Amino acid sequence: MVNDITLLSRIALILVRPKIPENIGAAARIAWNMGIDRLILVRDSLPEREPMARMATHKAAHLIDNLEIYPSLPEALTNFTVVIGTTARRGRQRFVAQTPRQMVEALLPQLANNQAALLFGPEDTGLTNDDLKYCQMTSAIPTADFSSLNLAQAVAIHCYELHHGIIHASKDMTPVPQLASSFELESMYSLLEKSLFAIDFMGKVSHTYWMSNIRNFFSRMRLTSKDANIIRGVSKKFLLQQKNPKA
């Protein structure tokens, strides 16, 4: 079994369109306290450093100085093979969310051979359905009737559960092989969607519904790079045949 520090190093926190610099600093401080050393932002620009650094304190200031920033979520996720979205909302097109502890239990066997990203949405709206389509799992913090937690609180609870789960993980756990990257999966989904449109399987109105269900289906299967390449190859061949039946 890979050691605890190595497993924690395979987890990154991704803050999607955060609005308040202090929340970024608080997330950095929490992450470093729990042994997570990679923080990524999805934003158009880097916020002012001073309010972030003030909340991070000097011990986690290096996370602020080494922030990775991407203009879009797909770009931030390119090399990750496991993506978990955090959400408090429910909807027909969303995954059945697990508690943070259940999510960690499901994630642990995958960490030995995979890079995991834990997504947190904007303070006011959280992750959208379009953000969540990139995820293979979702996590929701159980609360009483009032379910509003701020960004730093949500980060703290999830980071604690990750740290606690890894420290107490069974040493004889069977690891999951390396899975397809987000880049490979998105390429596969793009070609698959075009193929389904070509045979009129999905209408323009209902295609979001169908693709959401197809994504959920393949997420449960946990595709490897080889699996995704096979589906991508079949889709390419199918589209070529549709364009030129004699090919």
The domain limits of the chain are 4-167, 182-243
pTM: 0.90
Average pLDDT of the segment spanning 177-186 = 96
Query: What gap in Å lies between CA 205 and CA 7, rounded to an integer?
Result: 42
Per-residue pLDDT for 1 more than 60? no
The answer to whether 4-167 and 182-243 have equal CATH topology is no
Domain 4-167 has CATH 3.40.1280.10: yes
Would you state the pLDDT for residue 144?
Answer: 77
Query: What gap in Å lies between CA 185 and CA 10, rounded to an integer?
Result: 19
> Among 70-74, 106-110, 203-207, whose mean pLDDT is lowest?
203-207
Q: Hey, what CATH topology would domain 182-243 get?
A: Helicase, Ruva Protein; domain 3 (1.10.8)
pLDDT digits 0-9 by tens, 58-100: 999 999 999 999 999 999 999 999 999 998 765 544 556 799 9
Using alpha carbons, select from 116, 234, 101, 238 the residue that is nearest to residue 179: 116
